[in-house]
Amino acid sequence: MNKKWLLVIFFFLIIGGLVFFLFFRQKQNLKVEILTEIEDHQRYLIGIHYPKTNIQALDQVIERYIEKQKTYFLTSYGDSDYLIDRDELNIDYHYYLHNDSYVSIALITYINSYKLEQPIYEVCTFFYDIQKDKNLVLKDLLVGDTQEILLSILKRTIQSEYPHAILESNIDAIISKQLLIMNSFFINDKDLIFYFSPDMLSSDYYDMIEIKIPLESLKLSVTLSMSQKPNVSFPVYSAVRVIDPTQKVVALTFDDGPSNHTKEIIDILKENDACATFFVLGNKVTLYQNVLKESIANGNELGNHSYNHKWLSRLSVANFIDQVESTQKIMRETLDYEPTYLRPTYGSITNRMRKNTDLKISLWTIDTKDWKLKSVERIVEKATSNIADGDIILMHDIFERSKEALKEIIPILQERGFQFVTVSELNEIKRIRERLD
Ligand code: ZN
C-alpha cells in the first residue's frame, strides 16, 4: 500500500471518530439523582439535599458549594450546648431540566442558631447549558430590551409588595444590570424566579424574597420547555395482603428517601412478600414519582417526613404547617395519594406540632442505626436481636448498606414467625386485638 492510501484511510478514521464523538455527545442523556445527607449530632443538625448529575463540571461546583456551606456552618455554628437548642444547617434544592439541553438548579441554605436573632437564608443557582458545558447567567438568556423589562418588573414588585425590603434611595443601585450576572435565578416550565437573599436587602430585612415572572412575558435567547399539562395517569393501587392478627407482626419503616436505592428496596420487599412504610421527603416526590407509584401499587404505605427535613419542632406554626401541607399536596397531585402518618424529623415531636396537624404521628421502637453503622451485619443484628411483636423498625432508604441489610432481615424475621405490615395496618391490628380481648 502506498503512502497516499494510508493518508486517505487515516483521514476517514479521524472524520469517523469525530462524527462518532459528536453523535454520542449529543445522545448522552442527563441522569440525575438526589442525594440526601442527614446528621443528628449532639450539638447540631444537618439536612442537605442536592442533585447529582452525570455532568462532571456541574457536579463539581455543586459539591464545592455544599462543602463550603458545611465548613462555614461547622466553624461558625454547631457548638450549642443544649440538646433543645441545637444549631441547624439545611440546604434544599430546586431542579428543572429543559429539553435535555439546559438544567436549572437552585440551592437554598438555611442556618438557624441560638446565636442568631433570625435564621440566615442564602441562595446559589446554576443554569447549565449541557451541550456547551457552561453556566449561563440572565444576561446570556435575555434578548433585546427584555433585560430592562425584567429589571423594571423586579423594581415594581419590590416597591409594591415588599416596600421595606430595599430603601427607596438604594433601589436603583440594587436593581441594576449587576443582577443580570448573578447566580440568583431559577427557571422551571412556567416561571423565571428571581431570588433576593437578605444580604442584598435592607439590614433589618431577614427573609428571602422570591419574585415569579411568567416565562410568557419574557423574550429568551434559548428555547425552553414551556408548561404543557402532562397526561398524569395513576396506577390502580390495589395490593391485597392477608394478615392474621393473632400472630406476631412487625412494621419496617424507611425515612429520608426516596433515592436511587428505593427501587431495589421495593423489589426486595416484593420478592419476599413483605411490605414497608416509606416516610418520604416532599422535595423528592416529583423526580422519584415512578418508583413511588410502584411502591404504592406493591402494597407499601407512604408517610410524610416533611418537605426538606427542617427541624420541625423548632419551626413557627406557619412554617411547620407549610412543611407538612406542601408534602401532602405534592403527593396528592403527583401520586393521587394522601399520607395519614407524619414522622417528625429527628424524631422530635411537641404538643404544638400535634395540635397543628391532622396527621397521626409515627415514631419507632427499634433504631437500626443504619445512618451511623457501616457494617451490614451490625444493622441486621440491631434490627433482629431484640425484636418483639408490634415493633416498628427504623431504617433509611438512602444507603446501600440498608438495602443489603434488608435482604437478611426479612428472612430472619419471617423464620421467627413475624408478618410484615404497614404502620397503618399495625395500628389497625392493635385495635382489632383490643376488641378481641
Ligand atoms: Zn429523617
- What does the pLDDT look like over 113-149, one tens digit per residue? 988 989 999 999 999 999 999 999 999 999 889 999 9
Percent with pLDDT over 70 in the chain: 95
Q: Provide the pLDDT for residue 319.
A: 96
308 CA → ligand 1 middle, Å: 9
Contact 346, 373 (CB under 8 A): no
C-beta neighbour count of 209 within 10 angstroms: 20
Q: Is the peptide bond before 198 cis (omega within 30 degrees of 0)?
A: no
What separation in Å is there between the alpha carbon of 1 and the centre of ligand 1? 70
Residue 13 pLDDT: 74
Cell of 63: 459539591
Q: Provide the pLDDT for residue 10.
A: 74
**Each residue of 212-231: pLDDT tens digit?**
999 998 999 888 876 666 66
Using the mean position of ligand 1's atoms as its centre, give its distance from the Cα of residue 343 in Å.
8
The rounded Å distance from CA 255 to ligand 1 centre is 5
Q: What is the pTM of this model?
A: 0.89
**Type and span of the H or E element at 318:** helix 317-335
Distance (Å, whole) CA 339 – CA 346: 19
Cα 370 to averaged position of ligand 1 atoms, centre (Å): 12
Residues with CB under 5 A from ligand 1 (ion): 255-256
Give residue 277 CA to ligand 1 midpoint distance, Å: 13
H-helix or E-strand spanning residue 303:
strand 301-304
Q: Average pLDDT, whole number, for the chain? A: 92
User: What whole-number distance in Å separates Cα of residue 85 and Cα of residue 314?
Assistant: 8
* Cα 105 to ligand 1 centre (Å): 23
- Could you list the active site residues? 255, 396
Burial 3-39 (b: 16+ CB within 10 A, else e): eeeeeeeeeeeeeeeeeeeeeeeeeeeeebebbbbbe
CA of 348 to the centre of ligand 1 (A): 10
CA distance from start to end of the chain: 96
Exposed / middle / buried, residue 316 (Cβ in 10 Å: 0-12, 13-18, 19+): exposed
Query: Could you tell me the distance, in angstroms and rounded to a whole number, from the CA of residue 27 to the centre of ligand 1?
Result: 37
> Cell match 405534592: residue?
330
On the 0-12 / 13-18 / 19+ scale of CB atoms within 10 A, 353 is buried
Using alpha carbons, select from 298, 304, 296 the residue that is nearest to residue 357. Answer: 304
Spans of the chain below 70 pLDDT: 1, 16-28, 82-84, 226-232
Angle between helices 289-297 and 317-335 (to 10 degrees): 70
